[in-house]
Structure 1
Amino acid sequence: METYNGIVCISRSTLIISESNPNGIMPEGTLNSLNYRKKLKIVRNGGGEGNPTLIAFDSLPPKYKKLAQERFGDPKVEAEKEGLLKNIEIKSEAVSFFKLHTIEYTDRIENLPEETQELYVNNAAVLDALKLAWDKHVMASRSKSKRPLTGEFWKNAALATQKLLTLKDDKITHDLPKNPRRLQEKLQEYIRDGYISLVSQRFANTYSVKITEKAGKWLVSRWSTRSIDIVTLEQLFAEYNCEAEKRGWKKLKSTKAVRDYLYRPEIEPLWHAARFGELSAKEKFGRQHRRKQLTRRDTLWYSDGTKLNYYYQDENGKTKTCNVYEVMDAYSEVFLGYHISPTEDYEAQYFAYKMAIQRAGHKPYELKYDNQGGHKKLESSDLLKNLARHAVNTAPYNGKSKTIESAFNRFQSQFLHKDWYFTGQNITAKKKESRGNDEFTLENIKRGNLPTLDEVKAQYAKRREEWNNAPHPKTGIARNEMYRTSVNEETQAVDWLDMISIFGVTTKDPATYRAGGLQIEVKKVKYAYEVLTSEGMPDMDFYRKNIGRKFYTRYCPDDMSIVSLYEKDASGMRFVTMAQPFIHIEGAMQNQTSADLSFIRKIDFQNKQMRIDNERERNELLAENNMHPNQHGLSVAPLKGVNTSKAKKGKIDIGELQKEVSNMTALEEQKKTAQRAIKKASKKIEKESSLEQEDFYKARRELLQTSIN
């Protein structure tokens, strides 16, 4: 409906029921019949698009007038609304005015908020349309020599402007008055003062005028201080007004003025750290990076330790919790390696990293870790430096920068939360779902229903695998599948030698290589090692050249069966050789096997041979420099217990003899025969040793004589 020449009209197309207008109120034939019988008043004949035939609403028969009111609303209000919609136009000068308009405060200048600018532009457009409608109404009334119907016009205009807010397609947001009288006054103000009349007085912010620079500094200082009584906003408001009276400041009317001032964006950073802590201020006001999504595996690993959120019962029946250290691939969120222990220490980190490397088969390009727990020991042992191309400790107190903490939270809430002995998430979690059912848990703790530590470890491994097989939140692909199908050409593959190099822990202090090998202590347990030949025998040449030398030892805590020996010089650690556990023998003859006896004989022979070789080299050196005792008429004492003569008789293998004796059936006879055989063999060994010593002396005399000549 619309008003035409002061007459409320309804279009012909609106009245007729058709496929395109099922909401019409009469068939086309009925309308034509009414028109033919002169029952309808045609106000305007239609012609062309956008120029429909208009029929005076008041000329409709009562039946159809009632139907039209029920279906289309009050015709006068709808006509005003349609007229407004037709004449509403957003003017560029209004947009420019409100965009450039500024509010000047005592300490700053601000523009209007964008939402407010849009609202004021709409207000201006609606008021412009109302002015045009009012002018048309006045002109139409005067053309008929009638007085304008002011009350009725503004009543309908107020209803029409409010209907603009309810339109589905052409909704126009404004905050013009609902009251007809106030709407009329608003238009008069707008006509008189222009766009500035639409700017609300609330943007003058009286508190800014009242709170001077000095008063503001006092407010911030009093709100920040921790050295005297800490105040609430209400208390600060009261204190401020007392202070204002003393200093001649303007008093404030409400706590809102205080709050609005303190929470202004440029003011809040001045006191936030004092009230809530510097870390809270850093979190709120510090710029946060937005990282691009990683595109391949092993580009970045995160590692961190946290409480394992399960209760368990120890062997003494006490309720305990433990810690878990996890290593995660940032690209796929796959948990690669972990270790469960009472605390986050060096050992937990070591085993978690080792498991991650074994799973990945490659070194990560970058590793990020915090600077707590046992990481300082890992750094001193060069493990972290050897583990990745770049090993970086994350900034402390910056949880948002660590992807692994976000993953932990989701892992706890989505997977660990399934088990009744779940302790609840970390203390910073606020949702009720992040807590366990304490009543249920305590009742079952009393009844001794908690799992053991081994059961908790097994359950954690299961939940961990569920996490790895679950879809990644951004790709929808299983985490394991993402990791398995990804390739990173820039990461180094790891072999067995790399594992030793990476995970070997170097002793803090060197140990001395002695006649009894080399001894180190790990976690209060002593381990002895010696260098062996390829045949598994002690390397006597290494003994001869290195007794008294100090070596650093590198070992794997989970495999102490082989260690590496290093010397340290100005350029760093230099690898020397590998060492294995020191070979022990039975001390009592009764417990010795043939292998023990054979080993003893071989070592005894090698020791004697080493003595002979050392003696020969020493004599040659002395003779070469004319310093040998024989060259000066003196004699050299013979080597004690060493026979250098070649044995005439075949050597008796005591091991074979003992084996033969052990096959005897009678136990007593076996013992007697074994004792006799051992005694006989010992005598023969002593005899051979004596002959060897005589041969040695003879060879030495000949050597000396040759040297002198």
Structure 2
Amino acid sequence: MFEYYNNTLCVQGGWLDEAGIITQNALKVLLYRGKVKKARSGRGLGNYALYVYESLPQRFRNIIEHDLQIDPYKESKTIKFAKYLKFDENASAFFSNYELEDGRYLSEANMEAVKTYTANAEVFYTIRLLHNKITTANPKINKGELWERFTKSIHNLSKEIKKRYPFDLPTNPRALRAKYESCILEKPNKRYPRTGLEGLIHDNYCNNYRLKINDAVGDWLLAMKCLPINFSFYELQQKYLEVRCDHGWPYLAESAIANYLKEPERMRLWMLAGKGEEEYNKKYAHTLSKDKNRLFPNAHWAIDGTKFDVVHFWDTKSKMASVCKINVLIDVYSEKILGYSFSLTENHIDHFIAVRMAVNEAGAKPYHFTYDAQAAHRSKKMQELYDKLIAKGGNHYHHKVGRKSNPIEQLFNRLQQQVIMKRWFSDGQSIKAHQSRSKANMDFIEKNKGALPTYDELQMHWELMVQEWNNNPRSKKSTKSREEFYNETSEHRTDIGVLERASMFWLNETTPKRYYAFGMPLTVAGQDYLYEVYDADGDIDMDFRLKYVQQKLIVSYDPEYLDDYIALYRLNDKNEKVFVAYAQKKRLHVEVPILQEPGEKQRALKDIEVREKEKSRDWEAYNALVERTGISPEKLIDEQNAMIENSEFNAKRAAYATKEENLISDNNSFFNRATR
């Protein structure tokens, strides 16, 4: 008769009429005159009109509170369960036919237990019905208070009702709610890990498997469960029933097998062998606890890359995509983001950009630098950079694959929840996320895809996210922002000078590269470049080409200046680098006159002349060599022909030859062939 609707105490209009307090017609007149307020109309099947109790004239409230001795506020907190309770045939059948570990049904072992478990299910089904009704009518109702009312109502049922429904449920509201969520909503918790109706069955019926499972049976079950096939406990029972007679093994129920294999010393084995190291590590891998409070700004830097979990406009059939990546470098102590890269890739150039930004932001070196085991981090060029990055006495290394020791991985999770997922175009967290709040509203994004940010706009959004993250408190218990934590002074700070900073970020190719006649080709992060060495006047350096074309040189470059120049080094006898020259991006020419810029044609002609100039220079050098040595092709020909003409064989041949043969031979002499 009394209930809360939209957090307001209300009374049923029909009950006021039935109790003789005021008729329905009189209520309508008072409502029309504005003397009472209606909270809900009685339209619709199963609905009834509700009037705000405090709006009733005082004379009617006196009848209720004094004459009828009813406390509306106390009455409203008691839910009338009796009229909603009803027998549930499915629950009764489930518990009656529940198979125990010894092969008997629960109804054979203990019929009273079947009645109790069935009543528990029926009470829970009633709670579910009333919970939906109440929360639909009043979505803002306090859930904790509602469960207190549920608990009080069911345990205040009359003896007659309890005799018909001999339930055995917790008297504590929190315990009752936990059991309801596990058994009815199938959301397991620490107190009630078993879900579904089976969770209502007492553990006493599931603990005698030790009497029947000997070493041979146990080894067989465990070995089968360790297979990568990942048999369910039901499937494993069926496999067991197929072979048990051959070995003389006893009958085992599914629950007996499940309980045996769920014991910790066995479960850790089949989790490792059957489900893999990742799942095993989540449950059993021992971890170290790190004392973060002993750190200081720039003590430990960590870098990692991940997918940027947002949807953006993209020129595809669906006009949207989620393909951007971020490479983030943080200061572990303050959690401030010091540097990052924003791109479509995750390679050594992205790592380089993030590290360079961090150095420019910090103006200092870290003592400890960690990263993942990605090949780009472990490449020789990046390892050389990390060697230069670390302060004296510090170190750097990559985290072992599969271990959760990288502090930035934990930060990514909070960055997503606290900042990225607050954007309407976020696509949630990874596909492994189970919580609904970690998943994107793709229907909403699809409807508004025309408003999605472009790639460039998304980069600006990311920059704002970084500022938001850095300016937020480091934790719920702290009032200081991450920026403030980072700006704390430290006696261990190692500053880095401007000149050292500039020289630090030159990367060396791991192997020498050949300088070809057309220049020095270089590929960085999938992008092809071509460089050429020019002299001080901007002309092709012919002196350099004379010495180094077709020679292998070490290429050194700054990724931020790849469009400008690179440095070339040779290796001396001690395998030391010796600077040779800077090479610039090779000039490109176009033959179409209308497309040529002023002076481009003259420059192209001058570059074309290099080929003939080099050839002419090399011929001159060769002729000078002939002059100095006297060694020439003509002299070689004369010497070898003279050997033929003066040989004993030719003399004998001439003596026996006819006149005509000697004339032919003379006509084919070198002199005659050369002067024809």
Q: Tell me the TM-score normalized by structure 2.
A: 0.52
Q: 2:406 aligns with which of 389, 399, 402?
A: 402
* 2:323 maps to 1:318: no
Pair 1:226–1:530, CA change in 2 (3 A):
closer
SS in 1 for 2:577: strand
Pair 1:225–1:497, CA change in 2 (3 A):
closer
Contact kept, 8 Å, 1:567 with 1:575, in 2: the verdict is yes
State the 1:269 CA deviation.
Answer: 2.3
Runs of at least 5 residues in structure 2 that lack an aligned partner in the other structure? 1-170, 172-202, 631-676
Aligned to 2:289: 290
State the 1:367 CA deviation.
Answer: 2.2
State the 1:571 CA deviation.
Answer: 5.5
In structure 2, C-alpha distance between the alignment counterparts of 1:350 and 1:591, rounded to whole Å: 36
SS in 1 for 2:268: helix
State the 1:538 CA deviation.
Answer: 8.0
Pair 1:405–1:521, CA change in 2 (3 A):
closer
Runs of at least 5 residues in structure 1 that lack an aligned partner in the other structure? 1-165, 167-200, 630-709
Pair 1:246–1:453, CA change in 2 (3 A):
same
Pair 1:494–1:217, CA change in 2 (3 A):
farther
State the 1:237 CA deviation.
Answer: 4.5
Aligned to 1:333: 335
Q: 1:439 aligns with which of 434, 438, 443?
A: 443
Pair 1:429–1:573, CA change in 2 (3 A):
farther
Contact kept, 8 Å, 2:376 with 2:382, in 1: the verdict is no
In structure 2, C-alpha distance between the alignment counterparts of 1:246 and 1:513, rounded to whole Å: 77
State the 1:583 CA deviation.
Answer: 9.2
SS in 2 for 1:266: helix
State the 1:540 CA deviation.
Answer: 7.9
In structure 2, C-alpha distance between the alignment counterparts of 1:486 and 1:384, rounded to whole Å: 24
Aligned to 1:576: 579
Pair 1:334–1:207, CA change in 2 (3 A):
same
Pair 1:232–1:587, CA change in 2 (3 A):
closer
State the 1:564 CA deviation.
Answer: 1.8
State the 1:246 CA deviation.
Answer: 4.8
Letter in 1 for 2:280: A
Alignment deviations for residues 356-403 of structure 1 (CA, whole Å, 9 cap, x no partner): 2222223322322222364355657733444435332221222x2121
In structure 2, C-alpha distance between the alignment counterparts of 1:235 and 1:591, rounded to whole Å: 78
State the 1:415 CA deviation.
Answer: 0.8
Letter in 1 for 2:260: Y
* 2:487 maps to 1:484: yes
Q: How many residues align?
A: 412
In structure 1, C-alpha distance between the alignment counterparts of 2:504 and 2:580, rounded to whole Å: 13
* 2:423 maps to 1:419: yes
Contact kept, 8 Å, 2:514 with 2:550, in 1: the verdict is no
Aligned to 1:281: 280
State the 1:563 CA deviation.
Answer: 2.2
Aligned to 2:301: 301
Letter in 1 for 2:352: Y
Provide the alpha-carbon RMSD of the alignment: 4.6
* 2:492 maps to 1:493: no
Alignment deviations for residues 603-628 of structure 1 (CA, whole Å, 9 cap, x no partner): 99xx99xx8xx99xx99xx99xxx78
Contact kept, 8 Å, 1:565 with 1:578, in 2: the verdict is yes
Aligned to 1:527: 530
Pair 1:215–1:530, CA change in 2 (3 A):
same
In structure 2, C-alpha distance between the alignment counterparts of 1:569 and 1:266, rounded to whole Å: 63
State the 1:582 CA deviation.
Answer: 7.3
Contact kept, 8 Å, 2:206 with 2:255, in 1: the verdict is no
Aligned to 1:262: 261
Letter in 1 for 2:354: A
State the 1:548 CA deviation.
Answer: 5.9
Contact kept, 8 Å, 1:554 with 1:564, in 2: the verdict is yes
State the 1:525 CA deviation.
Answer: 4.5
In structure 2, C-alpha distance between the alignment counterparts of 1:586 and 1:275, rounded to whole Å: 63
Contact kept, 8 Å, 1:504 with 1:554, in 2: the verdict is yes
State the 1:512 CA deviation.
Answer: 2.7
SS in 1 for 2:553: strand
Aligned to 2:7: none
In structure 1, C-alpha distance between the alignment counterparts of 2:208 and 2:590, rounded to whole Å: 99
In structure 2, C-alpha distance between the alignment counterparts of 1:581 and 1:251, rounded to whole Å: 82
Letter in 2 for 1:444: N
Contact kept, 8 Å, 1:585 with 1:592, in 2: the verdict is no
Pair 1:272–1:576, CA change in 2 (3 A):
same
In structure 1, C-alpha distance between the alignment counterparts of 2:227 and 2:530, rounded to whole Å: 60
Pair 1:308–1:212, CA change in 2 (3 A):
same
In structure 1, C-alpha distance between the alignment counterparts of 2:586 and 2:399, rounded to whole Å: 46
Letter in 1 for 2:567: S
State the 1:475 CA deviation.
Answer: 4.7
In structure 1, C-alpha distance between the alignment counterparts of 2:545 and 2:314, rounded to whole Å: 48
Pair 1:456–1:555, CA change in 2 (3 A):
same
* 2:515 maps to 1:512: yes
Contact kept, 8 Å, 2:521 with 2:528, in 1: the verdict is no
Contact kept, 8 Å, 1:517 with 1:582, in 2: the verdict is no
Pair 1:424–1:406, CA change in 2 (3 A):
same
Contact kept, 8 Å, 2:305 with 2:328, in 1: the verdict is yes
Contact kept, 8 Å, 1:562 with 1:578, in 2: the verdict is no
Letter in 2 for 1:487: S
SS in 2 for 1:297: coil
Q: Which structure ranks higher in relative contact order (CA pairs < 8 Å, sequence separation ≥ 6)?
A: 2
Higher Cα radius of gyration: 1
Pair 1:570–1:485, CA change in 2 (3 A):
farther
Percent identity reads: 27
State the 1:494 CA deviation.
Answer: 4.7
Letter in 1 for 2:432: T
Aligned to 1:567: 570
In structure 2, C-alpha distance between the alignment counterparts of 1:256 and 1:275, rounded to whole Å: 20
Pair 1:487–1:565, CA change in 2 (3 A):
farther
Letter in 1 for 2:384: D
In structure 2, C-alpha distance between the alignment counterparts of 1:587 and 1:441, rounded to whole Å: 46
Aligned to 1:45: none
Aligned to 1:214: 216
SS in 2 for 1:420: coil
State the 1:407 CA deviation.
Answer: 0.8
